Structure 1
Amino acid sequence: MSKEQRAQVDAMLRQPRPEGPRSIEAIRAGFEALMAQMIVPEDIRAIRTTLGDRPALRVEPDSGPRTGTILYLHGGGWVYGSPESVLSLTGHLVVKTGFEAYSVDYRLAPEHPFPAAIDDALSAYRALLDSGRNPSTIAFAGDSAGGGLTVTTCLAARDAGLPLPAALVMFSPGLDATRTGESMDTKEGIDPILTRTSVEHTGAMYLAGQDPHQPLLSPAVLADLTGFPPMLLQVGTNEILLDDSTRLAARARAVGVDVILDITADVPHVFQSFVGVLDEADRALDRAALFLSQHVHTPDTAAAPAG
């Protein structure tokens, strides 16, 4: 039953952790160990490659991909995580859509603070466009910090005069470096993963002294989303970052952007990672795959020529 599944996941995520701030090395190792427990589908191929000037993991169905590319940006507070850590997410997305995915190993803070991650993601998108892919066949997707990067990379692409991708998909995105959402406090303790202290600790590494009051750091409260592609935001009610999604959705609606705000009750941050364990995760990824399939143009969905 789903209620029991949610309780088991919550208990797993509340396992005792060391007190006080941890070193970067410890944070990174702990996250990789956690994500290594997630279920990765067997019927995929994951191939190391490069995109732009960064390493990347190309993930595709064993049967070969159909037209359509997901540019995936992993989570980890901009300081940890990797394409391998989110293989459960990219793997299930490609199986459910039939598309290929490129998961970018963007540079991490504190070694490479803002805006290095955005620069790397934008470079990866340019590389896809330069390869001849039509932007209507590309979608951005990401979780947590990577979900935030889908928005800020889109802002950077628009500022650079590039065509925008067909769609954005965000799993529990981090969208506000000012940390002003009410859920930062109302969900403290309810969230089994994140605390204000933990996100401010890693966030300071990414900020490196920069003012968080700018669109590329806090798009949920400051970005002009005019002209953005359709977006899907998926978030759980047990998250301190809940209001990051609700406020971005409101900003998108206000300027006429197609937006789906998909809120699931009693699930944790990036609950989609628990696909195969948590029924809500499977259903959320089904909805994300449907959204991608509806908006990414393939030879059978592209509009017929006029005339």
Structure 2
Amino acid sequence: MRNFDYHRPTDIAAAIEAARADGAEILAGGTTMVDLMKIGVWEPQALVDITSLSELEGYDVGSDRITFGALARMAEVGDDDALKTAAPVLTESLWKAASPQLRHAARLGGNILQQTRCPYFRDTAYAQCNKRNPGSGCAALDGGETNLHAILGGSDACVAMYPGDFAQALVAFDAEVTTKGPGGARTIPFADLHVLPGDTPHIETILNRGEIVTGITVPVTGALKASHYLKARDRESYAFASASAAVGLDMDGDTVRDARIAIGGVAAVPWRARAAEDSLKGGPLTEETAREAGRIAFADAVPLEGSEYKIKLGADVVAGALMTAHARATGGE
């Protein structure tokens, strides 16, 4: 690990000023940053520790919207009883992520910006990584192991998978992210925050240098209360998703009034399956229609050798999550 400067500003303006400098990176929980610094993937010239900015802490479960400060801790939010009732998909996606120790350290703002777990990105012995070394190539596409890589949203330059859980719930339910930066404050639809790799996989979000995520807002909808996050993984705890689904249903009797579906563990960015949602609206939710929605969610998948299993697994996860959400929507759970 190389030497670096350390800043701990006490107000947002000072944090923005420090973070806009070349080579500076923002530090919150540090659960990703410190790991990547230890293995030499990131070598920032300065760290800007924002954990003293108390105005970015806390959260509120309102009747029309749920708001989170960027520094709210994953564990605190995931264990909130009011939130478990109002939006189970949010709490489930948090407590199914990482270990208890990491959840107590990690902050929501950092969680949504976490880096890929692609082994070729995280191992500097591989020179070919367009995300780490733009223009160097992609070791995964050049004969490497691809069972952990994206089958949706990848490109000829990168097939790294976005690893987060909470982000799938946010993209499914039209969340927004608030930020402050050198250009002032702005509100960004969460669906627009992350960008597909294309020819520039090293550019992962639309955030500008020095721009700091300050909060997250989720509008309350009928489908949010009858929601569920289902995660399939190699082991029961502390493992990233092989496939996951964040879903919600709003029912009018036996008819689906609104459906929300996002899928994780399979895509380059948080991925909303709108065609699958549309296939359910206006009709009944049955095991057959749930399975069809799962198939539709993966209709455009482009698997690599070793990742074909994600298509069937992912479709089954979507169907299973929908059946649980249906039980919640109709009083069966």
Q: Which has the higher helix share?
A: 1
Question: Over alpha carbons, which structure has the higher Rg?
Answer: 2
- What TM-score, normalized to structure 2? 0.27
- What TM-score, normalized to structure 1? 0.28
Q: Which has the higher contact order (CA 8 A, sep 6+)?
A: 1
Q: Which has the higher strand share?
A: 2
